[in-house]
Homo-oligomer: A and B are copies of this chain.
Amino acid sequence: MPVFHAHIPKGRFSREHKIAIGHALNRSLVVALGIPAGDRFIVISEHGDDELFIDPTFMEMERSANAMIIEVQLGAHRPASEKAALMAEICRQLGEAASIAPDDVFIAVIPVPTENFSFGRGVAQLAGIAPRW
């Protein structure tokens, strides 16, 4: 149910790398939060250098031309500790899967109540039950 949207620089990652990024993001949910591996809803967009502007050093990072922005819509019930665990795991998985440097990974977690998701058929499958995923 968490939905990822990764904004990556155009022409820096091969087809294989992009698939690896998708797998890494999915894997980060499993490892950090115990979310089922089947809960995989991931979008990647490429942007040219006139469409992606990421400061190279802000907050004392050393970002490269591979720097990317990862957005993830996560259950609004998640405490800060779980969000921090997910951020760390995203970074680790992207490093392992596609040799992406930790400084190149900007993350924004958008809080969304679980009743706001439909997995299909126009139904809010998680409404009215204790939050999970």
Contacts and interface: CB of A to CB of B under 8 A. Distances in A.
Interface of A: 3, 5, 7, 15, 18-19, 22, 26, 36, 38-47, 50-55, 57-59, 61, 63, 69, 71, 73, 80, 83-84, 87-92, 102-113, 115-125, 127-128
B89 A122 contact: yes
A58 B73 contact: no
Contact of A41 (B54, B109, B125, B128): B54
Given A42-B53, A102-B121, 11 more contacts: A3-B69, A22-B53, A38-B58, A40-B55, A41-B69, A42-B54, A43-B69, A80-B115, A106-B119, A107-B122, A109-B117
Contacts of A89: 122
Number of copies: 3
A112 B111 contact: yes
Main SS at interface, chain A:
mixed
A42 B52 contact: yes
A45 B42 contact: no
B40 A54 contact: yes
A51 B57 contact: no
